[in-house]
Amino acid sequence: MATEQGQGTDHVSLAALAAAFLKLGTIAFGGPAAHIAMMEQEFVRRRHWLTEQEFLDRLGAANLIPGPSSTEMAIFIGYTKRGWPGLIVAGCCFIIPAAIMVCAIAAAYVRYGSLPQAGGILYAIKPVVIAVVLQAFWKLKQTAIKTRALGAIGLVAVILLLLGVDNLLVLLVAGTLAALPVLYSRHKRRPVTASASTLLTLQKPKGIAALLSSIKARTTAILLVPATAGAAVPFGLWRLFLTFLKIGSVLFGSGYVLLAFLRSDFVTRLHWLTEKQLLDAVAVGQVTPGPVFTTATFIGYVVGGLPGAVVATVAIFLPGFLLVAASGPLIPRIRRSPIAGAVLDGVNAGSLALMGVVAWQLGRAALVDPVTIVIACVSAVLLLATRVNVVWLIAAAAILGVVHGA
């Protein structure tokens, strides 16, 4: 049976994986950055299932593939500990609690035409989420920023992100900058022979880069399609599945990018949703715990009932499972290659920068008065100075939010 510290890095039972991710899927408010921070506390600090470097390597990989990064982190962790069974168990257990909650909200929404109010609870929980993200950032920076060069790359990434540069492009720039010294050192040491040239070609992730470029081009093309009026397309579960499968396969970036895809497909092209229904769907995905992509669950229920909710949920998350399964075995090989390892170090520095910028952006929205600032500060001190479980902090904040809103 799993202890509080976990079962080490040699063996983790599927039951322990399921319990851990069911818990996280139930309490993980705040979006991907907060989810990842909670996973770092749970699996690196408390259970010791992963080292900081293993966690960062998988975070870098999750940020480089399309789909929901926090869900893909859950899938990566499950795959690392128990292979294919762990991949399925961890991913599903992280998704299912949120999907069930969203289905219940969607059922009430379809019946009554409005969303339940939870402003007081979210008011107090958000500062705790900020504290969790800051604690993870503080702990991971010691592993991610190993050298001054990586620190400089992280600073460049922060500047680019603040300037509004696309997240994926920032990560690719960070990886490239980290690899340049290794490439220069190799070129300086010896001339490139035909065999060495072939080796370098194999080591450079040209196929991945080309794939990412293709995905980005298609994403841009989709987002630039002008809104056109037309007749509503007849509803069908198969069409619903293919639409969400496409979105899950090509979407990089924030919830705002998800909103653009959903509007293009479900409001403009298919005419299955109104603008108000779409905004309500996104709001539900934001305020419920677990993956933001459960917005798809809400939309599926609104347009197709319970079968639609199931189909939409499976379709939008399926690409993440497949992409992690394909890329998971490559991470140890990447780490053993000097060039690919340097790229991964750069991507990790960029990912940490992304976490810091997101924490700052979320903090501006969450820390709105003295009460929320005190909640965030007390939570941060407890997280950094003790081994308090974030579950208790969220529960206490939720109670305080109910009292405050009463």
The answer to whether position 94 is within a domain reads yes
Burial 217-252, CB ≥16 within 10 A → b, else e: eebeebeeeeeeeeeeeeeebeebbebbbbbbbbbb
The answer to whether position 54 is within a domain reads yes
**3-state class of 3 per DSSP?**
strand
Alpha-carbon span 141 to 52, nearest angstrom: 10
Q: What angle do CA 222, 223, 228 make, to 5 degrees?
A: 85
The answer, yes or no, to whether residue 403 has pLDDT greater than 50, is: yes
The answer to whether position 81 is within a domain reads yes
* Region of residue 321 (left: phi > 0; alpha: psi -120 to 50; beta: else): alpha
Give the pLDDT band of residue 7 (cuts 50, 70, 90): very low
- State the pLDDT at residue 336: 74
Show the tokens assigned to 76. Answer: 């990566």
259 contacts 281 by C-beta, under 8 angstroms: no
- State the pLDDT at residue 212: 39
- Tell me: the pLDDT tens digits for 36-51? 888 988 898 888 899 9
The answer to whether position 39 is within a domain reads yes
What lies within 8 Å, CB to CB, of 78 at 6+ separation is 17, 21, 86, 87, 88, 89, 90, 91
- State the pLDDT at residue 190: 59
Alpha-carbon span 350 to 178, nearest angstrom: 10
- State the pLDDT at residue 201: 38
- State the pLDDT at residue 361: 74
Give the pLDDT band of residue 311 (cuts 50, 70, 90): very high
- State the pLDDT at residue 68: 82
The answer to whether position 148 is within a domain reads yes
- State the pLDDT at residue 224: 41
The answer, yes or no, to whether residue 372 has pLDDT greater than 50, is: yes
Q: What percent of the chain has pLDDT over 90?
A: 19
Instruction: Please state the pTM of the whole predicted model.
Output: 0.65
- State the pLDDT at residue 405: 64
- Tell me: the pLDDT tens digits for 210-246? 433 443 444 344 334 444 445 567 888 999 999 999 8
The answer to whether position 272 is within a domain reads no
- Tell me: the pLDDT tens digits for 152-174? 988 998 898 888 887 768 878 88
- State the pLDDT at residue 243: 92
- Domain extent, residue 24, equals 14-215+322-405
User: For residue 81, which of 50, 35, 46 has the smallest C-alpha distance?
Assistant: 50
Higher pLDDT, 384 or 296: 296
The answer to whether position 252 is within a domain reads no
- State the pLDDT at residue 18: 95
- Tell me: the pLDDT tens digits for 168-193? 688 788 888 988 887 777 766 655 44
The answer to whether position 350 is within a domain reads yes
* pLDDT (average), residues 368-390: 83
Burial level of 135, CB count in 10 A (0-12/13-18/19+)? buried
What is the number of domains present in the chain? 1
- State the pLDDT at residue 121: 67
The answer, yes or no, to whether residue 205 has pLDDT greater than 80, is: no
* pLDDT (average), residues 292-311: 92
- Tell me: the pLDDT tens digits for 244-294? 998 888 776 555 557 767 887 888 888 898 887 887 787 677 677 888 888
